[in-house]
Amino acid sequence: MIDLYTWTTPNGRKISIALEEMGLPYTAHPIDIGKDEQYKPEFLKISPNNRIPAIVDRDNGMALMESGAILIYLGDKTRKLLPASGERRYRVFEWLMWQMGGPGPMLGQVHHFVKYNKGKAPYAEERYLKEAHRLYGVLNRRLEGREFVADDYSIADIAIWPWISRFEWQTIDLNQYPNVKRWYVTIAKRPAVERGYAVPKKVNEIPLPP
Ligand SMILES: N[C@@H](CCC(=O)N[C@@H](CS)C(=O)NCC(=O)O)C(=O)O
């Protein structure tokens, strides 16, 4: 049994989607970051960086923060969505790390400047939108002629997908990136993804491109 501390954001949804895909039993505990619940002292003990997601594995008492580390942990625990060794494992890490260092922080800045603070900092809007388009281009090229970012569907796809699900916030037209669009829609239709997207509560249907 896993305790998942999460909210209705891309980083939170990575973990609920992974848990649903892996079939691991879990309890979701909402941490409303809009109400600063991430700063509560009891949450700080589990997540020293005051951010969601975090888990506690009741099988061994281990607490873990950082979505990339949690995905690797869950993949190793269940032996699902992460190859055990060899090049295929490192390919998954390669694209997982790409997400953690690229689309996560950069698209997060697009949400901040372009969606929530439009017009306040034109240079920042231009800079992060340009980087967003560069990253969508990288992903589009990677997905040319391949179904998923590594070999099989993996924790790397699960890490990237919730960030792409905010394409409307990012003012991105997915029709400009046809391979990303095909990959995004395929994953959006997975029942486990639909369930995990609605954790800890449903706020909207999964956005689908026209
Ligand atoms: N690198 C972290 C980032 C986590 C993160 O930024 N979480 C956001 C929600 S998506 C958060 O908790 N924000 C609260 C805040 O900014 O105070 C991870 O991947 O787990």
For 121-177, what is each residue's pLDDT tens digit? 999 999 999 999 999 999 999 999 999 999 999 999 999 999 999 999 999 999 999
- Axis crossing angle, helix 67-78 with helix 10-22, rounded to the nearest 10: 0
Supply the mean pLDDT for the chain: 98
DSSP helix/strand/coil, 23? coil
Q: What DSSP letter does each residue of 61-79 carry, written as one string?
A: TEEEESHHHHHHHHHHHHT
What pLDDT digit, counting tens, does each position of 10-33 carry?
A: 999 999 999 999 999 999 999 999
Phi, psi of 189 (to 5 degrees): -85, -5
Beta-bridge partners for 30: 6
Task: Work out the number of other CB atoms within 10 angstroms of the CB of residue 174.
Answer: 20
Residue minimizing CA distance to atom 13 of ligand 1: 51
CA of 67 to the centre of ligand 1 (A): 9
Q: Which of 183, 193, 149, 164 is nearest to 22 (CA)?
A: 193
Nearest CA to ligand 1 atom 15: 51
What pLDDT does residue 158 have? 99
Strand pairing of 26-30 and 2-6? parallel
Is 66's C-beta closer than 6 angstroms to any atom of ligand 1?
yes
For residue 9 and ligand 1, the question of a CB distance below 6 A is answered with yes
With a 6 Å cutoff on the Cβ, whether 16 touches ligand 1 is no
Type of residue numbered 89: R
Residue 139, exposed/middle/buried by CB under 10 A (0-12, 13-18, 19+)?
A: buried
Q: Convert the pLDDT of each residue in 31-68 to its tens digit.
A: 999 999 999 999 999 999 999 999 999 999 999 999 99
Determine the Cα–Cα distance for residues 115 and 131; give it in Å rounded to an integer: 15
For the Cβ of 69 lying below 6 angstroms from any atom of ligand 1, the answer is no
Q: Atom 12 of ligand 1 has which residue's CA nearest to it? A: 51
Residues 38, 160, 60, 65: is their CA dihedral positive or negative?
A: negative
Q: Give the ligand 1 atom nearest the CA of 51.
A: 12
Nearest CA to ligand 1 atom 14: 51
Q: What is the pLDDT of residue 106?
A: 98
**Ligand 1 center to residue 109 CA distance, Å?**
12
